Structures are given as structure tokens and as C-alpha cells.
Structure 1
Amino acid sequence: MQEITVDELKSRLDAGEHLNVIDVREPNEYAEYNIDAKLIPLGNIMSMQIDDLEPLKNEELIIHCRSGKRSMQACMMLETMGFTNVKNVVGGILAWQEKFGK
């Protein structure tokens, strides 16, 4: 599994790159604060409810959560399902907020 820092992610977003950013937190966490990533809770990934992701099997997927732990689990699970380019956001949304504010 590869990793990406919040600095790298922000600079790529700011540059206007089209990225597949996936938020694996729960809907209530997403409602509190999000960076416009696609919400697919970790539970959905663990139970293989990933129809929305299937077409992206060979594309870069950037996965984040609150702190980086759930996203790491999601990355590992997606890799076992054959996804070839998943990246975990180091530190998750907490690192993002610490660095860039709300």
C-alpha cells in the first residue's frame, strides 16, 4: 500500500487534477466536515459493497478517514479485491484540518 500526505493531496487538488478521493468515515462524520470526497464507509468496503468502485480497479484511489487507521484497513481490503493503485492519506482528516484549518 502506498501513502500520500495531506500536503501532496492538497497540492494535487489545487492544481485541478481529477482524483478519486474516497472517504471511509461514517455519514455523521462526513456531515461534520469533508473535503468533497466520495463517501463509502469502511463497513461497505469490508462487506464488499463496492459497486461504485469496481470501474476504478486500475485507477488511483486515494482513501482517507479521520486519522488514517480505517483508511489503511480499506486500502488493504481493496488490494485483496484486486485494486492495483490505492493510497492511504497519512493522518487523515485530522492532519488535513491541522494543516489547512476548517
Structure 2
Amino acid sequence: MQELLDNNRERLLSAEETKFLYLYTPLCGTCQVAGKMLRVVEELLPHHNWLKADLNFVSDLAEQYSIESVPCLLVIRNNELVKKIYAFQSVPFLYESLKSF
């Protein structure tokens, strides 16, 4: 999973492909568990574009996408928000939710 930073954000978010953007905060215990689950799903779906960002450093994205809480996974296709996932119920749930993208 590639870290989304200010110096690469425009290039990564403007690409005309489907992206999975994982938003988290480092002190969030639920985010740590969700991140581990996403690493497994990333292994199962290796051909997808996986990004992550510490929400503390991309607060403008939180506003842009109306993020209500973390962890949050955004599915962005052709620069449009397609899906938001807040409840990371299980690895199978995430895999089934994302494999069609």
C-alpha cells in the first residue's frame, strides 16, 4: 500500500483508474486492525491500486469526501467516489466488497 503524501497526491489521485484509498489515524486501535485486514485483501487483489493516508495530514480529503470516522476505505474510480466503507467486518467481507472493482 503506497502512502499518499502531498508531493505525490495529485499524480496518484488524478490517474484514470480505480483506486482504494485507506484513511486512518496512527493512534486508532480499530485502524490498526483494519490495516492488517486490508493487507490480506491487498494480497488477494494485487492488481489494484492501493493507497493509504494518515487523516491528520490530509484533512482536506476528509472534508472533500465527507469522512465521518476512521478507519475508512474509499473506492475512487475515474476521480469519482464510488463507495465508502467504514465497517471492516472481516477479510472475506472486504474481499467480496472490493473484488468487483
Shared fold (TM-score, shorter chain, > 0.5)? no
TM-score interval, normalised by the smaller of the two chains: 0.3 to 0.5
The TM-score with structure 1 as length reference comes to 0.35
Larger fraction in strand: 2
The TM-score with structure 2 as length reference comes to 0.35
